[in-house]
Amino acid sequence: MKGEKIFLFILQRKFAISLTLLILSLVGYLVSKDIPRGVFPNVFFPRIEVTIENGFVPVEQMLSEVTKPAEESLKTVQDAEKIVSKTSVGSTEINIYFDWKINPYLAYQLVQARVAELKNRLPSTANVVVRQATPSIYPIAIYAICSNSLPRDKLTEILYYQLKPLFLSIKGVYDIEIKAPEWEEYHVIVDLKKLANYNIDIGKVVSILREQTKIKFLGKLDSPHKQYIISLYQKSKDIYKLLKIKIPVSNSKFISLSDIAIIVKSHTPVKSISAFSGYKNAVVFNLLRQPNANSVEVVKNVDELLGKINASLKKQGIIIKKSYDSTLFIEEAIKSVRDAILLGSVIAVFIIYLFLRKVKLSLATLLTIPVIFFITIIGIKITKLDFNLFSLGGLAAAIGGLIDHIIIVTENIERHLRKGKDKLTAVIEGSKEIIPIMTVATLISIIVFIPLLLVSGIVGVFFKQLALVLVATYIISQILAIFFVPIVAYILLPQKEEKKVDLIERLKEKYANFLRRALKYDYLSVPLIIIGILTTFVLYKALPSTFLPKWDEGNLVVDFSFSPGTSLEEAYKEAMEIGKIINSIPEVENWTLRIGTSLGHIVTQPSKGDFLVVLKSNRKRSIFQIKEELRAKVLSRFPNLQEFDLPQVLEDRLGDIMGAEAPISIILYGSDPEKLIKTGQYLRDILRKQPLLEEVNLKTNYVSPSIQISVKPDAEALYGITVNDIYNQLYSIYWGKVIGNIMQGEKIINIRLLSSQKKSFFEIQKLKVYSPKLGKLIPISYVVDISFKDKVPEITHYNLSPVSVITLRFKGNNMSKAVEIIQKVIKEAKISSSISPVISGFYKEQQKSFKEMLFVIILSIVIILTALMFQFGDFKISISTLLALILTLIGVFMALLLTAKPLDITAFMGMLIVLSIAINNNILIFDFYKMSEKNHLSETEKIVAATSTRFRPIMMTMLSNSFAMLPIALTIGSGTQILQDMAIAIIGGLLFAIFVNLWIIPMFFHFIKKKAI
């Protein structure tokens, strides 16, 4: 009676409830416009990157003065689990990995605090950058300021001083990251011969010039009405006035700087360079957003500003071109998933219509779906989630559950109507009968996802968002099933149902007769179940496995590395040849080039670089076909590339976030860096011969060759030359000392002092240095020993232990097969016992995730079993339902096998969703069975009655839920590709669940009940 009052209360307030839902839907629609959009969830990952740059300092010096102190300090940061460093010429990159449970803001603050202490121990010339691993540290768009007439230093100046402040004023812009800037600089070039003639030490010149470029506070002066600030102002605004500075020489005489030096306009020593296709000179820059900013809106506002800026820049022969725009893929991906949801909903509702034959009720179901979604969006906004492939995947995956709720209530109401009851009675009694047990089923469906909290790493972060949105949608759809579906049914159903036998009723009767006959052979269910469980295990082992599905995002990265020691100029020249090859591919829209820096790293070697290639949107070939052509052409032209890799942008970015450089990597642990590199080269060459493997690269290699100069012990005694004298003189020849700067408005231009001696590699032994004791230049060979080291190993540490890293990719989608080949190669290679190989990369994350997801599924099944025991108090019902769920996995694995798809982490998520949907029908079947016990029927008839009563809703829910995922399974649009395997798993599992629920499990339940009797 109480239930009747509740539903009567709901029906009496049908317009108020409908209006409330309409208002909530409108609110959801409005807030959806303000929710940030991205490909991946905008979350902070427990990785902090510390990059320390110090010019071209040799590896040995970087290791002793920078890497070692930094590693030892950062390793002891609270909750730091792993520290990985890479030491090269002039750069050290350190990544600190924390426990996933740590607050990422706290981790960042702890590292910042430790770096602040560390700076006191680092060389004064070292530049330290600390970055937190989030999707927002990567560019949402990449632009280039281009010109065929102006040099790169002028472009850098315009970008930094004029344009960057404008960009930073746009809401949501975090920074404009200039890749490979080139800064204007003045060079004071001193003639060493003239210095020797005047008997002047170059250090004296440096000291005098530094004094002439200073501003120093002296004090203040107070007058009755004003206060004056007094300063020593030696900073000239005219650089050429420095030539008039007097320098003391012997006999109390002075000479002008112009007597021994000239001043020329130049640029800073360059470590990196960037380029844009089709232009002579370009400086590439990245657009970075604030963590919670809407990428789409930020890029839109920046592009609007650029439209105005380009109009004025055109007069100077400058244009800013946009190369890469991640929001295009974001918009396309979100649009694809949205369209798949809409199309899937229409398909599902069409199936409902086929079963119910009621146009108005089917259309009402179609309109109810967006109401549920818009209200769910309010929850997404409140919980500060964003729209990404995984949160939208949760909405897509929830279609099945929410349609299930609508169908179950609607069909049960209609069933009561078909019994001859009036509409009001049918709505109240049908709702009262089904909603309580359906609520229990929904709660159990939700509980299925609780074990996901145990999944760690990036998989846990991504799929928890999917599960959270899915669960929220389930809850909201359950609430609407209670408060809104009865209202819709009451408004749209006829007052009385005409008694007629439709096609579905005839099928139902035939099914009931079939089941009666099948129950006579119920014992066959036991071998069928055993075969089914064994088949599940065999299919699980037989399926190829990988980490994530492959998708076509329309952009790719070309990572390359020339021979160690290749100069920046030569690397640029060769890279532009690769650029010509890229241009020869018709699908290419444009590209940007970086050398000495990269998309994911602040600093790399001058021999290393990358292209970001943007493909045309209206192309016929997939990115995978284009990659094959590009790989063949580049390797044909450059067969001796040290590294060559073709990841897609988001795949590359995901690897950077995870700290995994490739799908599979081999980490060689040892104590000798040079031996590790040689072993790495040996393994790399063997692995490159394996047909299944591709893009096999040694990431730890040799760097630029070195020239080592050692001062002789008697240099000071014989020539008065100290180690510091040699350092100062040679430093001024090969690098130069920054002695100050001048200011032109707010523009700061450095002044660098250099000597005029030639810098040829082959003439270094013919150099002359100034001897204070002799008062003249002498050959450098008198005072130093010079040695050449052709191979200087780059040094990579994992938790302070030296390692060498090999990365590789594989053809197809069978990661497990590729790993088997690698393991075999390592075993047969018989490498030294002092070196320990470990397979890592995405593979390591896959192995961990598979174990955790398998545990999640088993734990979910155990939770379901426990909940069923509480609900029914009957072990036979519980074990039958449990077996039904296990057998549905055959459908999952068969669907993946038939579509040649691998078992990946999204397919595991599909299994979990199948369990959450399939449990509903099992619970409702056995609930009807329990209710039929009052009718004093035979055991056979009770099972037939319960199962046949649920025949129509089972067919409706399973078919509609399955076909609702069809647009995603068919990858309609680029954004659905990452969810395709999940959709295929859901379709296969739910379709096979029909067979299990309506045939095998009723037979098995009849068998064990009969045995008990």
Query: In whole numbers, what is the pLDDT of the chain averaged over residues?
Result: 87
- Which are the contacts of 533, defined by CB distance < 8 A and separation ≥ 6? 886, 887
- How far apart CA 948 and CA 961 sit, in angstroms, is 20
CATH for 554-647, options being 1.10.630.10, 3.30.70.1430, 1.20.120.850, 3.40.250.10: 3.30.70.1430
pLDDT tens for 615-643 read: 998 888 989 999 999 999 999 999 889 99
> By the 8 A CB rule, do 93 and 129 touch?
no
pLDDT for the residue 974: 66
Least confident window among 13-27, 347-361, 426-440, 494-508: 494-508
Class of domain 662-704+801-840: alpha beta
Is the Cα dihedral 450, 451, 456, 459 positive or negative? negative
CATH topology of domain 1-25+358-495: Multidrug efflux transporter AcrB transmembrane fold (1.20.1640)
DSSP β-ladder status, 141-147 and 318-325: antiparallel
pLDDT at 628: 92
Please report where in the chains the tokens 């397979």 appear, as a residue: 839
Given a contact cutoff of 8 angstroms between Cβ atoms, the answer to whether 1013 and 939 are in contact is yes
End-to-end CA distance of the chain: 36
Average pLDDT over residues 449-465: 81
What was the pLDDT predicted at 1012? 56
Q: What CATH number matches the domain at 503-551+842-1012, 3.20.20.140, 3.40.640.10, 1.10.287.1080, 1.20.1640.10?
A: 1.20.1640.10
Task: Report the amino acid identity of residue 256.
Answer: S
Q: Look up the CATH number of domain 201-259+706-789.
A: 3.30.2090.10
Task: State the average pLDDT over residues 735-743.
Answer: 88
Instruction: Give pLDDT, residue 339.
Output: 80
Buried b (16+ CB within 10 A) or exposed e, 391-405: bbbbbbbbbbbbbbb
Q: Which helix (H) or strand (E) holds 122?
A: none
Structure tokens at 751: 């002044």
Sketch the domain layout of the chain as residue ranges.
Answer: 1-25+358-495, 201-259+706-789, 503-551+842-1012, 554-647, 662-704+801-840
User: 38: which residues sit within 8 A by CB, 6+ positions away?
Assistant: 135, 295, 330, 386, 387, 388
Question: HSE-up of 633 (CA within 13 Å, CB side)?
Answer: 17
Residues 634-686 pLDDT 10s: 999 998 899 999 988 877 777 777 777 788 999 999 999 889 999 999 999 99
> How many other CB atoms are there within 10 angstroms of residue 637's CB atom?
13
Same fold, 1-25+358-495 and 554-647: no
Say whether pLDDT at 760 is over 60: no
Q: How confident is the model over 421-433, as pLDDT tens digits?
A: 888 888 888 888 8
Q: 3-state DSSP call for residue 757?
A: coil
Query: Among 746-750, 761-765, 848-852, 884-888, which stretch is predicted with the lowest mean pLDDT?
Result: 761-765
Confidence band for 689, pLDDT divided at 50, 70 and 90: very high
Q: Give start and end residues of each alpha helix (H) in 584-722.
A: 623-637, 649-658, 673-687, 715-719
Give the amino acid at 159: L
Overall average pLDDT of the 439-443 stretch:
84
Cβ neighbour number for residue 625 with a 10 Å cutoff: 13
Q: Residue 553: is its pLDDT beyond 70?
A: yes
Q: Do the beta carbons of residue 575 and residue 567 sit within 8 Å?
A: no
267 membership: H or E segment, kind and range: strand 261-267
* Cβ-proximal residues to 276 (8 Å cutoff; 6+ apart), any chain: 144, 146, 282, 284, 321, 323, 590, 591, 592, 593
How many CB atoms are located within 10 Å of the residue 850 CB?
Answer: 18
The pLDDT of 44-73, averaged and rounded, is: 89
Residues making up the chain, counted from first to last: 1013
The DSSP letter of residue 387 is B
Task: Tell me the pLDDT band of 610, cut-offs 50, 70 and 90.
Answer: very high
Residue 607 in tokens: 């021999």
pLDDT (mean) for 226-233: 89
Q: How much is the pTM?
A: 0.84
Let me know: does 978 contact 397? Beta carbons within 8 Å.
Answer: no
Give me the pLDDT at residue 867, please. 84
What mean pLDDT is predicted for residues 788-798? 88
DSSP 481-542: HHHTHHHHHHHHS-SS------HHHHHHHHHHHHHHHHHTTGGGHHHHHHHHHHHHHHHHHH
Mean pLDDT to the nearest integer, 313-328: 91
Closest Cα to residue 922, out of 1005, 848, 822? 1005
What pLDDT does 569 receive?
92
pLDDT reported for residue 950: 80
Report pLDDT for 761: 44
Q: Which pLDDT band holds residue 135 (cuts at 50, 70, 90)?
A: low
Q: Among candidates 240, 236, 297, which has minimal Cα distance to 264?
A: 240
The pair of structure tokens assigned to 786 is 């010079």
Per-residue pLDDT, averaged over 823-827, amounts to: 93
